[in-house]
Structure formats: structure tokens, C-alpha cells
Amino acid sequence: MPTSDTLIADYLERLRRASVDLPAGSRAELMQDIGAHLAEKVDATASEVQVRRVLDELGTPEEIAAVAADQSGARPSAGAGGGGGGGLAYDTATVLVLLLGGFVIPVLGWIAGVVMLWNGPRWDARHKWAGTLIWPAAIVFTLMVLTADHRASGHLGVVVVIGLAVVVAGLVAGFGYLLRGARSSR
Amino acid sequence: MTELRRGTIAFCVLALLDERERYAVELVDALTASQALAAGAGTIYPLLSRLRDEKLVASTWQESPTGPPRRYYRLTASGRRSLEAFRGEWAQFRDAVDQLMTPGTS
């Protein structure tokens, strides 16, 4: 049925042109999905009217491409335009405020960092909780080290040095983890 | 209204997949039958891609008994959590709107 084949080929060609701005992977997947949909809905015996109905039901290629652009724009990894750079600035600022904000304005600075972290679109729940708990964990650990001093007073200096080294290493590892998490989603 | 529908349609898809795994044409038919889909049926595909990117659904290609292979979608654990959260919020939202829309109850 040449007319039906032509209708479908024209439709797919319009979709291919309308989706030219999509990321290559999303575009290929969309073409594949719509192709599979048509293969499912239109068999060899379908009349021209049936094919037209199926195509009408799908919506115009331009409409589908617009929704696809919208959905992939909502994806953090799409990185359209200058979005990637803005993401890097926000992520770095968040980690810096979280790490150092408490030194500038005690407690409030840290809370600002936590708010930025939870508003950040590129961290998942695990990163958000880890980021929130880094400072509390460092402080609790420091307090534990200081209390341990009384019992092991003979080695006071060594305990404090090792303890502080562990705290600093923990902070560095924690904030590195956050930056890597954000980078992998950009 | 289009915005409202577009925002909720993803959860309608998750709810359909909560019952059992389905392939895309089944999802489209179910949504069209209930008139939940405001836009063309083809717009379901970008939505399904996003849901999969967000790991709310997973998909596998399977042989079809009658025609070409089909991509089947199923709910992930995270999709199920997301759906449960939406169910609660939706019930509250629906009740609130109902109350405001019905004269004399608020």
C-alpha cells in the first residue's frame, strides 16, 4: 500500500526535522519509539484512512518534538546553552557556602549552605543527606576526640593530631563527594 | 488546564504501571480511553524517556506474539515511592479544590 507507506515516511521525516535541536540520543530514541508505535498500530493491510487516524492520534510531529525538547530541557544532563556553566557556578558556590559559611556567619552560614544544597537540582537524596551531615559528623567526632583525651592523657598530643587529621580528611572527602555528584549530573 | 494535565499525566503513567508492566501502546490506549491525555498520543514517548532517565520506570524490549518487538515499561522502587507520595498529595489537593469549587462549603 504505497500511499500509507508514503504517509508514514512523510510523518517520520517531519519528526526528524522537527527534532533537530534535541540531544542526539534523545532524538534517536524518539524516532525509534514513534517508529515502533507505528509498526504496532499499522499492519500491512491497513487502509489509508486507518493510517491517517493513527497519525492524527499521535499528534503532529512538531507537537511531539516540542514536548520532547521540553522534557529533555528538564533533564539536568541536557546542558543546553549556558546552562552547564550556571550549574557549575551554583554547585561550587553551594559547596563553598556549606564548607565555609559557618566560619563567616556561625550556624546561619551553614544553614544557608544546607538550603542551597537541598535546592540544588543536581544532587540526589543521598548526596543531600551526606552534605547535610558532614559538619555535624565532624563536630561530633571532634568532641569524641577531645573527651577521649582525659582517659588517654599520656598520649594527648598524638590523639588530638590524629583526630584532627581524620576530621580534615573526612571534610575533604565529603565535599569532594558532593562536587563529583554534581559533576556527574551536569 | 493543559499545564495541570501535563503535570499529573506522569503519575497516571506510574499508576498504570503499578498494576503490571505494560508496553507503550497499551499505556497510550489506556490514557486515551480515560481521556486523561490532553495532547497527542505521541507526546507520551518523551515523557516515558524522562521517567526512565529519572529511574522512576525501567524498560526492556520483549518479543511480541503478533508483530514487531515491544518496549515494556515497569515501575522501579523509586517510581513506586514517588507514586505513593503523589497519591497522598493528590488526595489533599483534590479535596481542597473540591471544597473551593463547591459553593457554601468553605
Q: Which grid cell is B83? A: 507514586
* Nearest neighbour of A59 by CB, restricted to B23, B39, B70: B39
B46 touches chain A (CB under 8 A): yes
- Residue A80 CA to residue B72 CA, distance in Å, equals 30
Residue B61 reports pLDDT greater than 70: yes
Q: Which residues of B24-57 are buried (b: 16+ CB within 10 A; e: fewer)?
A: bbbbbebbeeeeebebbbbbbbbbbbbbbbbebb
Give the N- to C-terminal CA distance of chain B in Å, as an integer: 23
B15 touches chain A (CB under 8 A): no
Q: What angle do CA A25, A27, A31 make, to 5 degrees?
A: 120
Residue A156 reports pLDDT greater than 60: yes
- Residue A135 CA to residue B8 CA, distance in Å, equals 38
**Interface contact A36-B28, CB threshold 8 A:** no
What range defines the domain where residue B73 resides? 2-101
- Residue A119 is predicted with a pLDDT of 84
**Interface contact A75-B53, CB threshold 8 A:** yes
What are the φ/ψ torsions at residue A168 (nearest 5 degrees)? -65, -45
Q: Measured between beta carbons, which residues in chain A are less than 8 angstroms from residue B77?
A: none
pLDDT in tens, B19-28: 999 999 999 9
- Residue A74 is predicted with a pLDDT of 53
Residue A79 reports pLDDT greater than 50: no
Strand order in the sheet with B22-23: B22-23, B70-75, B57-62
Count structural domains, chain B.
1
Residue B83 reports pLDDT greater than 90: yes
Q: Measured between beta carbons, which residues in chain A are less than 8 angstroms from residue B50?
A: 71-72, 74-75
Residue A97 reports pLDDT greater than 80: yes
Residue A134 reports pLDDT greater than 80: yes
Question: Would residue B92 count as lying in a domain?
Answer: yes
**Interface contact A58-B32, CB threshold 8 A:** no
Residue A77 reports pLDDT greater than 80: no
pLDDT in tens, A16-29: 999 999 999 999 99
Q: Which grid cell is A29? A: 530514541
Residue A153 pLDDT class (50, 70, 90 cuts): low
**Chain A residues within 8 angstroms (CB to CB) of chain B:** 26, 29-30, 33-34, 36-37, 39-41, 43, 57-61, 63-64, 67-68, 70-72, 74-75, 77
- Residue B42's domain is classified under what CATH number? 1.10.10.10
Mean pLDDT of A23-52: 92
| Domain range summary for chain A, segments of one domain joined by + | 2-74, 83-185
The residue among A82 and A121 whose pLDDT is bigger is A121
Looking at the complex, report in whole angstroms how far the Cα of residue B96 sits from the nearest Cα belonging to chain A. 27
**Interface contact B42-A39, CB threshold 8 A:** no
The mean pLDDT of chain A is 82
